[in-house]
Structure 1
Amino acid sequence: MDAAAAPEAEPPDSFTLVINKNRPLAADYVPADLTDAGGLLLRAEAAEAYARMVGDAAAEGVAVSPVSGYRSREEQSRLHASYTEKYGQEGADSLSARPGHSEHETGLAVDIGNPDGLCALETCFEGTAAGSWTAANAHRYGFLIRYPAGAEHITGYAYEPWHLRYVGPEVAGGVHDSGVTLEEFLGFPAAPNY
């Protein structure tokens, strides 16, 4: 997808909808097609792609476990409040989206981990078998590592090698191959702050 086709007015159920600190979801948005994706909820197409990805990883001897999928606005509010209490507003905003600004609310984001909990929700996840396999292969299933290392000034979030966002294979492949963020690939401005 070229930058000239940037989806400024995309419907909220678009797979390439950019949600960030400057682009919130509509207050009443709830995905219509949530389905069980092996212990968490994702939109149907993302759930199917996630199941194929986890199955293919397992066939290669790599176990990938679900940590978190869809969250309601209320769940996101509680999570962000707990981070704010623990880290203060600035720290929380670098680690967790405010309610209405979380990709988890779209049903297109999944946090993954290792079955043994090794490096759960930590940057060292990238060096585990699940982290390495996912970084090399997730784009083939339509997922990208949404908050890559060194892109905090664009995404507004610390590096999260465990946070995958479903955008479809074409866009995920383009983002992966170009080495840029979703914002850059689709022609959106950086959104480091609210």
Structure 2
Amino acid sequence: MEPRSRRASRQKKSDNNGIGKIAAVIVVSTLLIGLAIFFAINQEDKGAKNASEETKKETTPSTTEPTKPSSSEPQIELTEIQMLVNKEHGLDEDYVPPDLIVPKIKFVYQTAEIKQMQRVAAESLEKMFEAAKQDGLPLAGVSGYRSYKTQKILYNNYVKRDGQEAADRYSAKPGHSEHMTGLTMDIAGYSGKCAASDCFHNTKEAQWLKDNAYKYGFILRYPPGKEEITGYKHESWHYRYVGEPLAKFIYEKQITLEEYYETYAKK
């Protein structure tokens, strides 16, 4: 028979093992519960953060500027090619246009100076004359560049012949003529008939120029009904190079260069 003391010792040891197992279970359970709580809190924090970011996206105004509607008016860069020369705006007496050349066209008159134009205008004039020829309406140049000195002689002669009031309706004072820019050409039919005369208005060539010149960068500078604006009576033969974008705009709006500067040009 086992002694009482030994049985008591074994019983105590067994009890201790049971208590240890229970304690271990409690510790493991506590750890598992703690981890579960940790992950739950962490997940909740993430959800709250994401919700906050979504709310911020919805409530924070965009810093991107809205697209502005494009203007219906062309953005035309004004250079010396588009210069305004009239009774109010003139050129210095010693002004000489850059890059003057003689366009390869027929001329009514053979004076060397008045055959010249600025290269950019001369090359476009050649294309326009070729297009008119292809349409069965060959053209001829009458008068292009004029120096201050040449314009002074012409103006003074007109004043002597017709008086200043009449001359001022069709001839510019020296320094105020578009011909001095080297961007203008008076144009006639190939025969030269009605050159720089009112009768040119009724010709097929005049009508062709009125309908097509803008395609090559030229405008009818002194149209009918605009004398109070331009300062000059209608001249169906006087064409001024301003570049294709501006020429097209002026043609479509049926306005003058003065009206363009007054209403549309950037201030």
Q: With structure 2 as the length reference, what TM-score do the two structures score?
A: 0.65
The question of whether the paired residues in 1 share the 8 Å contact of 2:225 and 2:234 is answered with: yes
Q: Give 5+ residue unaligned stretches, structure 1.
A: 189-194
Q: Say whether 1:17 aligns with 2:60.
A: no
Gaps of 5+ in 2: 1-71, 108-114
Measured after TM superposition, the shift of residue 5 of structure 1 is: 8.2
CA deviation digits over 1:3-53, x for unaligned, max 9? x9896xx6xxx1110000000012221012100113511000000000000
Q: 1:30: which partner in 2?
A: 96
Letter in 2 for 1:32: P
Aligned counterpart, 1:101? 176
| Equivalent in the alignment of 1:137 | 212
User: How do 1:151-162 residues align onto structure 2 when only pairs under 5 Å count?
Assistant: 151-162=226-237
Residues 71 and 105 of structure 1 are in contact (CA less than 8 Å); yes or no, is this contact kept in structure 2? yes
Asked whether the equivalents of residues 80 and 97 of structure 1 are also in contact (C-alpha less than 8 Å), the reply is yes
Give the superposition deviation at 1:183: 0.6
- Residue 165 of structure 1 corresponds to 240
Q: Structure 1 vs Structure 2: percent identity of aligned residues?
A: 41
Query: How many pairs align?
Result: 183
Residue in structure 1 matched with residue 188 of structure 2 by the alignment: 113
* C-alpha RMSD of matched pairs (Å): 2.0
Letter in 1 for 2:96: V
| 1: CA distance, partners of 2:193 / 2:94 | 36
Letter in 1 for 2:165: E
Q: How far does residue 114 in structure 1 lie from its aligned partner after superposition?
A: 1.4
Tell me which of 116, 121, 125 is aligned to 1:46: 121
Bigger RCO (CA 8 Å, 6+ sep): 1
More helix, by proportion: 2
Query: Is the contact between residue 6 and residue 187 of structure 1 (CA under 8 Å) also seen in structure 2?
Result: no
Q: TM-score, with normalisation over the residues of structure 1?
A: 0.88
State the distance in 2 between where 1:73 and 1:27 align: 6
CA distance in 2, matches of 1:83, 1:27: 20
- Closer, same or farther in 2 for the Cα pair 1:97/1:6, shift >3 Å? farther
Say whether 1:82 aligns with 2:157.
yes
Larger radius of gyration: 2
